[in-house]
Amino acid sequence: MNNPIITERLDRLRQVMRENGVDWYLVPTADFHHSEYVDGYFKVREYLSNFSGSNGSLIVGPSQAGLWTDGRYFIQAAQELEGTGIKLYRMQEEGVPTLEAYLAKQMREGETLGFDGRVVDTRLGQRLEKALQKKKIRFSCDRDLADAVWTNRPPLPCHPVIVLDEKICGETVEEKLKRVRKKMEELGAAGHFLSRLDDLMWLFNIRGRDVACNPVALSYAWITKTECHLFLQKEEMTDALYAHADRYGIVLHEYWETADFLSACPIEGKILCDAGQISYAFYRLLTNRAGLILSQNPTERMKAVKNPVEIAHMREVYEKDSAIVCQFLCWVKKNIGRLPMTELSAGRYLDDLRRSAQGFWDLSFPTICAYGPNAAMMHYEADETHNSALKDEGLLLVDSGGQYLGGTTDVTRTIALGRISQKMKAHYTAVATGMLRLMNARFLFGCSGRNLDILARQPLWEQNMDYKCGTGHGVGYMLNVHEGPQSIRWRFAKDAPEAEIEAGMVVTDEPGVYLEGEYGIRIENVLLAVNGEKNGDGQFMHFETLTYVPIDRDAIDPSLMRQEDIALLNRYHALVREKITPYLDREQAEWLARATRPI
Amino acid sequence: MNNPIITERLDRLRQVMRENGVDWYLVPTADFHHSEYVDGYFKVREYLSNFSGSNGSLIVGPSQAGLWTDGRYFIQAAQELEGTGIKLYRMQEEGVPTLEAYLAKQMREGETLGFDGRVVDTRLGQRLEKALQKKKIRFSCDRDLADAVWTNRPPLPCHPVIVLDEKICGETVEEKLKRVRKKMEELGAAGHFLSRLDDLMWLFNIRGRDVACNPVALSYAWITKTECHLFLQKEEMTDALYAHADRYGIVLHEYWETADFLSACPIEGKILCDAGQISYAFYRLLTNRAGLILSQNPTERMKAVKNPVEIAHMREVYEKDSAIVCQFLCWVKKNIGRLPMTELSAGRYLDDLRRSAQGFWDLSFPTICAYGPNAAMMHYEADETHNSALKDEGLLLVDSGGQYLGGTTDVTRTIALGRISQKMKAHYTAVATGMLRLMNARFLFGCSGRNLDILARQPLWEQNMDYKCGTGHGVGYMLNVHEGPQSIRWRFAKDAPEAEIEAGMVVTDEPGVYLEGEYGIRIENVLLAVNGEKNGDGQFMHFETLTYVPIDRDAIDPSLMRQEDIALLNRYHALVREKITPYLDREQAEWLARATRPI
């Protein structure tokens, strides 16, 4: 099966490449800020390849094209690339070259590699420099060649900025800036260029709507010991923002003038910026101005450690959101086989419950409601053309979350819609066990997610099975559903930060099973890291769950569980009942009582 | 209480320092090869400080002195430093400066730091350079100032080298050199300087006796694409060695001529050497000759992955050695309270059992036989002045091993000599559980010891307790009892290699509890990593135990164990019974049957 739309687009791109003296062209998936989700304007890779996942890089050569993506998308990418002539490269699989190794092998001496330097991050840019220097490859990185190819390209997003009440932030911009400047001093930096949107929003206690599901505004900041410059699209600035900026001595500038400003402003000393987060274009600009200190944004870790005000709001929001998911699960369980239901309609039912909740802003990501084999695709999204009808059998995976005034949520439950196979039960039980064990981990301060990951994975590894993704990620506060620096995974990409888990950090716990063509299982709670006893051996820590939604007893086979793990499940279910019952009507409460009864 | 011997020695050192224009003097614990155990000649730090542990660095300033050591030795060092005026710095504890940070703070601008460059490793030398450059500290590193202070210094060790039969090595020198040269080519190295003794012994299929318990000879090697030069003390060379060298084209040189040779030999290209293993003196010499590729010795990982011949021999040797430990435990259990016993006499009983075994060469380290509070010192060694009598109560910890033709062993058991407290039982049970869980880990290739460590530690962390050391280390084959690159620990020193566990690697599994002034518990098995199923999710792996010695049921409280963990214990004990019974007489066999009966 051929995909003439894509092959024609690639032909046109190759034409533009030739006109510009570019032999190979690289299209990563990023906006100018390396946001995880990107707005329509930035979906060049999807436009050119048909692959719609959230992570992937396209390479177009004179006669070949390849797409690199990670384990979450292997199945989906294979489907979407069909007929495009684009070859799929499964990242981290044995024998699969990295894209820079691929280019180093394929490109001929003296050829030119093109890419838009604003959407390539510095680490990738540097890796390309290193890999391609031997062959004397030239870079052409100041043009977005796809712009000429892409007819009807959506406009750059632009929405008014929201200024948050400090009562809900728990810390003023002044206090935050003070902490950032202290860190700059420690690192010996005279200036700090900040381009990561969620860090910017956190630091300035503002929010935006320029990225779907991410409450962020396209922006940059330049901070020195005494000055603070914030760059936003003029149309996004409101009276409240002007007043806010005035109050904290923030100078506002037009977003498009950032590069000009940075080229001209006085810089006395080194510049702190995050190599993993600034674009290669800004990296090259700043390198010409001063020495760079490539380190994590100080804001990243500050933002990750929630303050008591944030934690109090999150607890409340998570209870409310958990109750909504319970109501949804009750509705599905009661009506499956009676009412017609599809992935889309069920997902919309859940979305509507959230939308009607007090303080709701937006979904924190597009709801994943995936039935049967669709759930084997980790980030499947149903649409009008892919929308399975739900039947009273098999497994349904629902991964969803909301942006509320007071917190960002993320929760996954997989449930049996009727009879399921023994194999499904065995896998479901292993996933539930892994989730519970990690949730109940006891550890010492100093541990990163790499130390803890095996607790979630061991029940699956014992069955010679794995899931090809991390076990958990940080979650923002009225911000991105994925945030760093902490994460729970058993191996890290080279150079990837591996942050210690600190009290106040919030992290997901979401092991899974994904069997291509069969089914997918994921169970996800959000956990808050808290301090326990501190003694001569160190600061002991554990997690407190923020999520209170039952794990489907219908899908569990207790005979496969250890007594201790059954006790963990029963204890969790008792907590769910206690916390969530007050939010439910009588019928729902009765359902919850049954769903959480001890094994 | 004053220690006049040490204070007088320090006074003399300070005198020599003044004569040599040295303001501060650093004495690490190392021979010229950074062996873990050092021969008498190299025990300068012990001579000057009285601290006899295997790891520690002494800093002597104009009027102050400090000793840095790790968690294994906190208790012992505090005792041994009493009255010396030397302050103990507990490494990795909160608020304790590293020695380079300490020097950077204490030393005054333009002062001179002295040390013997041959016994300081390059990483430390570089850290010192970096930390002290701001204050323009000069290094005086070409003299061993202690030599003038140390009267009656033992001579440098010198014993004939043994050439091993290739049947017991499983791989010829030719094959090994070929692999090393291939790795050199991959790394772009024209020459390779090898100074680590166990790597040298492995590569050349030779052994020596220049370090207590380590079957190594003082040596260096210089390897190019076509040449191979081996440096040994002339007096160590035997006819068999000359023939062996001749056969494999190895040119033999006098040990003391290494530096002169390296200063003059032709070098065309870069030199591969291990920054963590060559001395700062050789680092400076080689840096002046060519560019350095600072990487792990290729031999380190090759040596760590045992070949089938080595594994077959080790299995046999470990059974035999386990049987000896079983005989010893049986003897202690039967005779405690009847025969007079001390730490030393019991340890000697065990050592004598080993010495009479076929193929025995040496102990693999001095036997640790530690009773009651003494066992809280991880590396306690009884001697004539510290030698507790054993009574029929409390816990006895015995950590021991042998060097045999066919393998190096390492095993620890802690046993109840009579009544023990409920607290001891609880801790013993947690340690046993942790040991068993790690031994039964299922994991994916790609895991390092950092991923696995929590399995051993979780039962203790659940009780807000920790042990201040790693959980496991690699074990050599007729070589050092501690070898890398693999290790099992939850955190690694910065820059420390963190090797993936590979099939054929051998690693210890030895969690513990150490309560100062009360007791110590350690249970240690040696595990062989083996491959299990390989499928789309990767290469699954698990461990096979090489050690077959009962865990003391008298010290276990089964009511504190999960059913699953009890099953692990019973399964292990059944294996012990099966493997070891054939080595025992009837009385011992009856004891073993009781000691391993199911719970």
pLDDT for residue B379 is more than 80: no
Q: What residue type is B269 in one-letter code?
A: G
- Cross-chain Cβ contact B462/A442 below 8 Å: yes
- Identity of the residue in A442, A455, A461 whose CB atom sits nearest the CB atom of B540: A461
Q: Is the pLDDT of residue A349 over 90?
A: yes
Q: Indicate if the pLDDT at residue B495 is higher than 70.
A: no
Say whether residue A452 is in contact with chain B using an 8 A CB cutoff: yes
Chain B residues whose beta carbon lies within 8 Å of the beta carbon of residue A465: 537
Q: In what order do the strands lie in the sheet with B368-371?
A: B368-371, B395-400, B411-416
pLDDT value for A120:
94
Distance CA B521, CA B527 (A): 19
Cα separation of B449 and B486, whole Å? 7
A559 touches chain B (CB under 8 A): no
In chain A, the percentage of residues whose pLDDT exceeds 70 is 99
Give the pLDDT confidence score for residue B275 in this predicted structure: 67
**Test the B interface: residue of A427, A442, A453 with most B CBs within 10 Å:** A442
B442–A465 CB contact, under 8 Å: no
A488 touching chain B per CB within 8 A:
no
Which of A184-198, A463-477, A482-496 is predicted with the least confidence, judged by mean pLDDT? A482-496
- Confidence at residue A365, expressed as pLDDT on a 0 to 100 scale: 94
Element spanning A444, H or E: strand A442-444
Under an 8 A CB cutoff, do B442 and A462 touch?
A: yes
Report the C-alpha gap between B295 and B276 in whole angstroms: 9
| CA distance to A265, B323, B347, B364, B520, per residue, from B396 (Å) | 71, 19, 11, 20, 8
On the question of pLDDT at A381 being above 90, the answer is no
* pLDDT for residue A35: 81
pLDDT at residue A495, as a whole number: 65
Query: A490 vs B538: CB contact, 8 Å cut-off?
Result: no
Quick check: B274 pLDDT over 90?
no
A439 contacts chain B (CB < 8 A): no
**CATH code of the region B162-303:** 3.40.350.10
Domains A162-303 and A305-595 share a fold: no
Token digits of residue A488 = 């729970």
Q: What's chain A's average pLDDT?
A: 95
Mean pLDDT of B352-371: 96
Mean pLDDT (chain B) is: 95
Compute the average pLDDT of residues B238-267. 96
DSSP state for residue A226 in the 8-state scheme: S
pLDDT band (50, 70, 90) for residue A99: very high
Set of chain B residues whose Cβ sits within 8 Å of the Cβ of A513? none
At residue A573 the predicted structure's pLDDT band, cuts being 50, 70 and 90, is very high
Q: Please state the separation of Cα A317 from the chain's center in Å.
A: 20
Residue indicated by tokens 């039964």: B440
Over the stretch B388-407, which tens digit does the pLDDT of each residue have? 999 999 999 999 999 999 99
Best-predicted range by mean pLDDT (A304-318, A364-378, B369-383): A304-318
Q: Which of A553, A559, A520 is nearest to A427 (CA)?
A: A520
Distance (Å, rounded) from C-alpha A119 to C-alpha A513?
33
Q: Which residues pair with A227 in a beta bridge?
A: none
Q: Residue B333: name the closest of B249, B392, B398 by CA.
A: B392
* Chain A touched by B96 (CB under 8 Å): no
Instruction: Find out whether the peptide bond into A485 is cis, omega within 30 degrees of 0.
Output: yes
B533 interfacial to chain A (CB closer than 8 Å): yes
Mean pLDDT for the stretch of residues B301-320: 98
Are A271 and A262 in contact by the 8 Å Cβ rule? The answer is: no
Q: Does A321 have pLDDT greater than 90?
A: yes
* Cβ(A570)–Cβ(A598) below 8 Å: yes
Structure letter (DSSP) for residue B218? -
Tokens standing for B60? 């002597």
Banded model confidence at residue B595, pLDDT cuts 50, 70, 90: very high
Interface test with A, best of B134, B445, B464 (most A CBs within 10 A): B464
| B4-149 has CATH 3.20.20.70 classification | no
Q: What is the pLDDT of residue A591?
A: 98
CA distance B113 to B120: 13
Q: What is the mean pLDDT of residues B413-440?
A: 98
Q: Per-domain residue ranges for chain B? A: 4-149, 162-303, 305-595
pLDDT band at B276 (very low <50, low <70, confident <90, very high): confident
State yes or no: pLDDT of A54 exceeds 90. Answer: no
**Subunit contact B537:A447, Cβ cutoff 8 A:** no
pLDDT over 80 (residue A545): yes
DSSP state of B161: P
By C-alpha distance, the chain B residue nearest A516 is: B536
Q: Who among A451, A461, A468 is closest to B450 (CB)?
A: A451
Amino acid at B476: G
β-pairing, B24-27 vs A538-545, is unpaired
Residues 6+ apart with CB under 8 A from B453: A451, B438, B470, B471, B488, B489, B490
Partner A contacted by B410 (CB < 8 A): no
Residue of B nearest to A443 (CA): B461
Looking at residue B311, what is its pLDDT? 98
pLDDT of residue B378: 79
Chain A residues close to B562, C-beta within 8 Å: 562-564
Q: Which of B450, B458, B562 sits opposite A450 (nearest CB)?
A: B450
In angstroms, what separates the C-alpha of B561 from chain A's closest C-alpha?
Answer: 10
Q: Which residue in chain A has the smallest CA separation from B489?
A: A451
A451 — contact with chain B (CB < 8 Å)?
Answer: yes
Instruction: Tell me chain B's radius of gyration from C-alpha atoms.
Output: 24
DSSP A406: T
Please indicate whether, in this complex, the C-beta atoms of B464 and A491 are within 8 angstroms of each other: no
CB contact under 8 A, B442 and A464: yes
- Give CA–CA dist A184/A224, Å, rounded: 9
Q: How many CB pairs under 8 A join A and B?
A: 78
Residue B419 near chain A (CB below 8 Å): no
Classify domain B305-595 at the CATH topology level.
Creatine Amidinohydrolase (3.90.230)
> Is A461 touching B (CB cutoff 8 A)?
yes
Distance from CA of B440 to the nearest CA of A (A): 10
pLDDT one-digit tens code per residue, A167-219: 999 999 999 999 999 999 999 999 999 999 999 999 999 999 998 899 999 99
Tell me the chain A residues in contact with residue B464 when contact means C-beta distances shorter than 8 Å: 442, 532-533, 535, 537, 540
Reported as a pLDDT band with limits 50, 70 and 90, residue A275 is: low
Residue type, B356: S
Which residue among A451, A464, A533 sits closest to B453, beta carbon to beta carbon? A451
- Which residue from A minimizes the CA distance to B92? A538
Q: B546 to each of A73, A286, B404, B565, how far by Cα in Å?
A: 42, 57, 15, 19
CA distance B114 to chain A (A): 30
Q: Which residues of chain B neighbour A455 with C-beta distances below 8 Å? A: 454, 458
Of A167-176, A484-493, B563-572, the one with minimum mean pLDDT is A484-493
- Distance between CA atoms of B349 and A454, rounded to whole angstroms? 42
* A532·B441 Cβ contact <8 A: no
CB count in 10 Å sphere of residue B184: 22
CB contact under 8 Å between B442 and A455, yes or no, is no
Instruction: Find chain B residues with C-beta within 8 A of A466's C-beta.
Output: 444, 537-538
Judge whether B523 and B551 are in contact, CB under 8 Å: yes
Which residue from B minimizes the CA distance to A467?
A: B537
Chain A nearest C-alpha distance from B167 (Å): 35
**Who's near A326: CB < 8 A, 6+ residues apart?**
A548, A549, A550, A576, A580, A583, A584, A588, A592
Residue among A453, A465, A537 minimizing CB distance to B466? A537
Cβ neighbours of A192 (radius 10 Å)? 26
| pLDDT greater than 80 at residue A487 | yes
SS3 A252: strand
> Given this model, what pLDDT does residue B295 score?
85
